[in-house]
Amino acid sequence: MKEAPLPRMTTSTSSREMTCPFDQQQLAHAFAPLMQGSGTLHLDEVLAGNINTIVKLAWNNQRYGLRIRTQETVYRYEPDLVKEAFVSQLLSNRGTDPQDKAIAAVFAELRSAQRGFISHYPSVLPVVRYFDWSRQRLPHPYCIYEWVDGAPLWDIPEPELYAQTGQTLAQIHDVKFSAFYADFPSVGVQPVSWPERFSAALAKEAQGASNRLPSSLVEQLQQLKLPAGNTVRPCLVHNDFAPGNILVRDRQVAAVIDWDNAVIDVPHLDFVKMKYWTAKDTQGELTHHPVLFAAFVDGYGPSGREMVSSPVFRLYEILWLLRVFNFERSKEEQGLPRAPGYPAAAMYEKHLRSILYQ
């Protein structure tokens, strides 16, 4: 059986100077299942992130984003999945009693298919129309979604919008699980205990920081004690919940983007980046903003205040600060520049010192 002819491609006059890493035939091939071989694709612009290349295109008066995981060597989560395909299923059934075995069956179907259309469009996500990690049409995993116009939250630092963002996070965390899992393929199949999961992550980062931090801080890390029992229920965690991934349009939260890092963990984890990267200061660098962070926490609901003052939150602060410290120090050691707006490694060391010596 022959495939339908590829859609035609044109390049818009508004296309940015950045060169697209894929030729027009590859882009048309990626869109062919969605377009069913008809119409003309207009290439508009190309955006580059740390992990993904995003190609903005238009077809039949609708703009789309083609999100391609081009930087696979630095991606540290499941290599052959497009998380939005799984998250759209989870969010469509949020608020129900956790049924890990049923979720496992749905996930297994997605993993077996490797590509397909998405019929569930939760309001939290951009409308994702197609996903493919088979590497047959493109050499990298990709998805196609309806383009979302909007500004990142950090460009509109208003308490009302941060409160809305807290409400949005509460909706995400309403997807509950019966157990913790190391990754999405393990859901309903191979649970892990929370102490086991957290201890392994902490040990990895502490080892990476052992020759970079003062010995006094390393000793403090070695003396950390985990709670005797963690009673927090595991849930869907975005794991990159920060103002740059929250899009705002018409004074409303329009979408939460960049789900590559999504995990099953405790909800506390999604508060950490928002605390330390709440908004940009007058020099354009991300920093903690007490008023905006308080609006975000209160918007989440009554449990928000309890979480950010709990021993579990303190542990996740330490874990995250270690992780980002190692990342930024590694870049410094290699002579690589920091991403604009993000603090240097010394700032995370300062925060670590403050927490460990409380």
**What is the residue-wise DSSP string for 155-210?**
GS--HHHHHHHHHHHHHHTT-B-SSEESSGGGTTT-EE-HHHHHHHHHHHHHHHHT
Q: What is the pLDDT of residues 302-352, one digit of tens each?
A: 999 999 999 999 999 999 999 999 999 999 999 988 888 999 999 999 999
Please check the confidence at residue 54 and state whether its pLDDT lies above 60.
yes
When pLDDT is averaged across residues 82-95 and rounded to a whole number, the result is 93
**Alpha-carbon distance 355 to 317, whole Å?**
8
What pLDDT was estimated at residue 336? 87
**Is the per-residue pLDDT at 94 higher than 90?**
no
Average pLDDT over residues 127-149: 96
Tokens of 14: 């508004």
Count Cβ neighbours within 10 Å for each residue of 45-55 and write b for 16 or more, e otherwise.
ebeeeebbbbb
For residue 4, pLDDT over 60 is answered with no
pLDDT at 229 exceeding the cut of 80: no
pLDDT at 12 over 70: no
- In whole numbers, what is the pLDDT of the chain averaged over residues? 91
Three-class secondary structure of residue 251 per DSSP: coil
List all residues 6 or more positions away from 81 whose beta carbon is below 8 Å from its beta carbon: 111, 133, 141, 184, 185
What is the pLDDT at residue 6? 57
Nearest Cα to 65, choosing from 115, 129, 160, 121?
Answer: 129
Dihedral sign for Cα 225, 226, 227, 229, please. negative
pLDDT over 50 (residue 2)? no
Percent of the residues in the chain that have a pLDDT greater than 90, as a whole number: 78
pLDDT in tens, 250-268: 999 999 999 999 999 999 9
Mind listing the pLDDT tens digit for each residue in 154-189?
A: 999 999 999 999 999 999 999 999 999 999 999 999
Instruction: Give tens-digit pLDDT for 272-312.
Output: 999 999 999 999 999 999 999 999 999 999 999 999 999 99
